[in-house]
Amino acid sequence: MKDYHFQENDQDFGLTVRLDDINEQVKQLQKEPAEEDELGDASEFLNAFESEKFDVPDREFSEEEELGDTRQTIPVQPIKNQPVPPEEEEWEEYDEEERFGMSKKTMGLIVALGVLACIIGFSLVRCGFHPAASPAKPSGQAFPMLVESVLDEGEALVYDITEERRKTLLLTEETEVIDEQGRTVAYGGVEMGDLVMVELDKDGETARSIDYSNAAIQTVEGTGLQADTTKSRLIGDEDSYIYGEKALFLYDGEEISPKDLEPCDLLELKLVEDVVWSVEVLEYHGYIEVENAKNIKDGEFQLDAEEPLPLTEGMKVAVRGGQHEVTVTGSNIETRKDTLFVKAGEDFLYDLSKAQEKVGVIIVNANVSNYKLYINGTLAESPAVLPMGEYDVVILKNGYTEWSQRVMLDKDSLTLNAELARDMQYGTLTVTADVDGAWVYINGEEYGVAPMQVNLPYGSYNVQVEKDGYSTFRQSVSIQSTTASLHATLE
């Protein structure tokens, strides 16, 4: 352990005072009342420190150095093999009380230096375990921040757009809040999705001011936009925007996915340097889902005054929440108009099973009476009232061939003119006479000499049998089966 030397007021050098002696005397001093003028003010303390001289062997001190208050000297380490100055033995002869009593100021200086050393050491250790935080932003400058969530009262989790990191923002009653019209308003909490310019205090965490009206923040309303999540873009027919990786999409205070957006939604976009960071859905969509449309021919679906869409089974149409006018047309139905109320975020089932079919009348004019009329295999009567569409029409009558036709009923009335042809069924007519060589005439035509047989279609016929020298035989005959016969008696 090194020795410490002190210069006394009345002597050239004091005795050697070791560290354990110093500690004992410090304890004693703590019990004694402090002397007001022992150490003096800070300037005197520094002057006393600067006035201390180092003890150099074989050096003579000037009169100015020997005068003045007690000064601490630090001995130079003796060079190897150099004899220790004989003065050390003389210094050790002074008693303890005398040594200590004349060096209180010096002892105070040592204690102060020890405390300072402890503080410095503690600071170094603390820095080793706690890395230095990023430097605070300069006070007086505002930076854009996105409020991601509100924590406990007076705290909010924000995304610092400039530093590209999350942090906790502290709000106090002294935080100045400037609304979108540039007016200073009473202190109030921020909300999730707010995009604001924040001026921080020197600590880099406390908000000195929150500005909603700063020109660096742009607010735009838009519709017709849909998100392309692969490119982080909102794309429309006329406008297109890039949105930030940490951008928030909100509806009714709840976070939604950008994939949930539909072109019909009305959006409020908040941007910094042409990049969207907050999207709030002002008018959200629901869906109209169509059911039982498969039987409607050439159907079209029209929403409000928009262009009609082809009508298909199960189609879903995104619409803003609220009241809408829907028009459905088809070649086989009457035009249908309905007023629907769609709730935002919900599906409205639009059932077309009760759509009124468009009807027309089929009228049949035939060249026969007492016929039977069949439409699509079902017995019907003329005129027949039927829904618009295609039909198979069949007319049947005994003795006539079947009449059929496929028709399209696409107007109020359709008239059919049916010409039925006779059914050519034949029977065998046998004609005999009571004399030989008589001639047979049927309907005025000569057929031959009786007896004879002739095949004739079903029907009625006039038969004559003649022979010279005899009176003419006349008679009507009906053929309604496969055979018929007639016997003529001549007189």
* pLDDT of res. 379: 94
Strand partners, 364: 416
Note whether 218 and 208 are within 8 A (CB). no
Only one residue has tokens 């976009």, namely 269
Residue 22, pLDDT score: 56
Count CB-CB contacts under 10 A for residue 280. 19
Q: Is 30 helix (H, G, I), strand (E, B) or coil?
A: helix
The helix (run of H) or strand (run of E) holding residue 199 is: strand 195-200
Report the distance separating Cα 63 and Cα 159, nearest Å.
70
CA dist., res. 347 & res. 287, Å (int): 5
Q: What is the DSSP letter of 258?
A: G
- Separation CA 42–CA 45 (nearest Å): 5
pLDDT, one tens digit per residue, over 406-465 is 999 888 899 999 999 887 788 899 999 999 999 999 999 999 999 999 999 888 999 999
CA distance 36 to 299: 106
pLDDT of residue 27: 59
The chain-wide mean pLDDT, for the chain, equals 80
Single-letter amino acid code for the residue at 200 = L
Please report, for residues 6, 45, 72, 115, 174, the alpha-carbon distance to residue 50 in angstroms, rounded to integers and kept in the order given: 15, 9, 10, 19, 47
Other C-beta atoms lying within 10 Å of the C-beta of residue 186:
6
Nearest residue to 430 (alpha-carbon basis) of 442, 444, 418, 416: 442
Taking the model in full, what pTM does it have? Answer: 0.53
Reported as a single tens digit per residue, the pLDDT across 328-360 is 999 888 899 999 999 999 999 999 998 888 889
Query: Quick check: 48 pLDDT over 70?
Result: no
Beta carbons of 45 and 105 less than 8 angstroms apart: no
- Domains in the chain, CATH or no CATH each: 5-115 (no CATH), 142-211 (2.40.50.320), 217-283 (2.40.50), 285-351 (2.60.40.1120), 359-418 (2.60.40.1120), 426-488 (2.60.40.1120)
